[in-house]
Amino acid sequence: MKRFNLPLFALASVVFASSSVAFADEASTQALLKDSKCLKCHSVDKKKSGPSFKETAAKYKGKADAETKLYTHLTTAPMVEVDGEKEKHTMIKTKDEAAIKEVVAFILKQ
């Protein structure tokens, strides 16, 4: 009979579990983006009336205050320019700090 390699099994279980958690987090992040109507003006890789998440990630790449600035942008409804007109940016539809940070991380990883 073959010996069961417990450490290898444990490592494989951790890797599988963490990838499942990441997928669940990304799915909930996508749902929050949809519910907050972010995807009306933004997409992951195509410019709409607002910049794509890839453009936003490139803009903030290497900047120490990137997370803070993006978090503030999502939670304070600043004025933005859309088609040459100024309008209030829609705030994200949650007060859950962890969920907002997940959205920020999702945008910045693009």
The domain ranges of the chain are 6-108
- Residue 24 has phi, psi (to 5 degrees) of -65, -40
Please give the average per-residue pLDDT across 64-87, as a whole number.
96
- Rounded to 5 degrees, φ, ψ at 84 are 80, 0
Helices 6-35 + 97-108 axis angle, to 10: 100
pTM above 0.85, yes or no: no
pLDDT, one tens digit per residue, over 21-36 is 454 589 999 999 999 9
Alpha carbon distance, N-terminus to C-terminus of the chain: 48
* 20/86 Cα distance (integer angstroms): 41
Q: Does domain 6-108 have CATH number 1.10.760.10?
A: yes
* CB neighbour list of residue 23: distance below 8 Å, 6 or more residues apart: none
Euclidean distance between CA atoms 3 and 110, whole angstroms: 43
Mean pLDDT of all residues in 49-54: 96
Both tokens assigned to 47: 């410019």
Q: Which residues make beta-bridge pairs with 80? A: 87
* Across 83-93, average pLDDT: 94
Please tell me the distance from the alpha carbon of residue 30 to that of residue 58, in angstroms, as a whole number.
Answer: 20
